[in-house]
A and B are shown apart, each in its own frame.
Chain A
């Protein structure tokens, strides 16, 4: 082996050793700095991808567009009606809570974000969004859509952030089951990927006897995720040696996710 190969190997091992010695906080800084560096390229790639998709969608016939327009108009009218009704209910609910000296149930401050890239790794389920420190996004902020919980932010750079999805084994959410006193932890499956997101509810009591179709919500324990956000619907319940275990169908379609909201605390 030539002399400079040995020198190169020594420098290489020292550099890797230096990286291994990084503290979690410094690792996070390195991660955020790299995310900041790569995000302009991801944004460009994302906008190019959108243009291609838009071009394909733009090739619709006039009849298709007319049909789409009709459907959207009907949906819009339905949503407007529903929204008005819900506003009345919210006001009434708050009035009643006030009368009972309860704290008013406040909505969240939501900041819209667009997904600019998906993780290309096989075993980690993350996405990158186009909001970062400049927009007030911090680490460990919940991310959701109108349908339910998506995940939470991990690495945050200037104008982008990484969101670990609830289908990732490392994203754990304290949860409750509708109509029961059951509490458990929602976690992703190791073999889950963005094509087949799999999540489960663990640490339930053995006698929980949950039925398929029951809804699962975040319980708010742990102070990361707000309470009452829909996570999914029970698909199957199994008794294990020590606890109960349920598989869940996520409320949000994580495979086609495009726009999300970052939760910034209460209004």
Chain B
């Protein structure tokens, strides 16, 4: 339970921290996304239901910060009134849950102490998040634009995640060990 709360808090902290990391000029303005890495670690370390809660927290926070609302002017008062939401609040939750579920499929290898595949997968799934965001925007606004720049930013986010995930996984694993959380539950050990 303590480790689950730590993971939830880590999602929040990573979201705040990534706000202060600027776009990378040497990677076509790629943004550094830390929160998905924490979420993917959570998917590997906690049970399915707990991963769903983490996906809910992460997706909710992300959408609350990024969802764009269109406004119209109230004729009587002259105040702006929210009239349309571009992409519904909550769609990132489903996306994160789906990708987290994919990550769960690789849990046995992680429990044997093998991280390589998961670090690579973190990168691929981070790119998938950025691609899904772009597709959502494109479907909503129309006009498909897939320039080299776009592909670089999608791929770049994944590349950065691949580089950062071993460090994040190490820190979170150390915390799990420090609080006495076993990432390999007894039942799963017996099954092995």
Q: Which residues of A contact B (CB under 8 A)?
A: 1, 4-5, 7-9, 12, 15-16, 19-20, 22, 24-25, 27-28, 30-31, 34-35, 38, 41-42, 45-46, 49, 117-124, 126, 128, 138-140, 154-155, 162, 164, 168-170, 190-191, 193-196, 223
Contact = CB atoms under 8 A, between A and B. Distances in A.
Contacts of B18: 120
Given A5-B48, A45-B20, A139-B80, A31 B64 contact: yes
Contact of A123 (B56, B84, B134): B134
Interface of B: 12, 15-23, 25, 29-33, 47-49, 52-53, 55-56, 60-71, 73, 79-86, 88-91, 93-94, 97, 130, 133-134, 137-138, 141, 143, 145, 147, 149-150, 153-154, 157
A77 to B, nearest CB: 35
B144 to A, nearest CB: 10
Contacts of A31: 64-65, 67, 69, 89
A190 B145 CA distance: 8
A30 B130 CA distance: 23
Give the secondary structure class of A's interface: mixed
A30 B89 contact: yes
Contact of B56 (A15, A25, A35, A138): A15
A154 B66 CA distance: 11
B19 to A, nearest CB: 4
Nearest to B24: A195
A19 B19 contact: no
A25 B64 contact: no
A170 B80 contact: no
Contacts of B73: 140, 223
A22 B87 CA distance: 12
A88 B85 CA distance: 47
Given A8-B48, A124-B66, A27 B33 contact: no
B67 A195 contact: no
Q: Which 10 A-B pairs have the closest CB atoms?
A: A8-B49, A19-B90, A140-B80, A195-B29, A34-B64, A24-B82, A117-B19, A120-B18, A28-B82, A193-B29
Interface centre among A46, A121, A139 (most CB of B within 10 A): A121
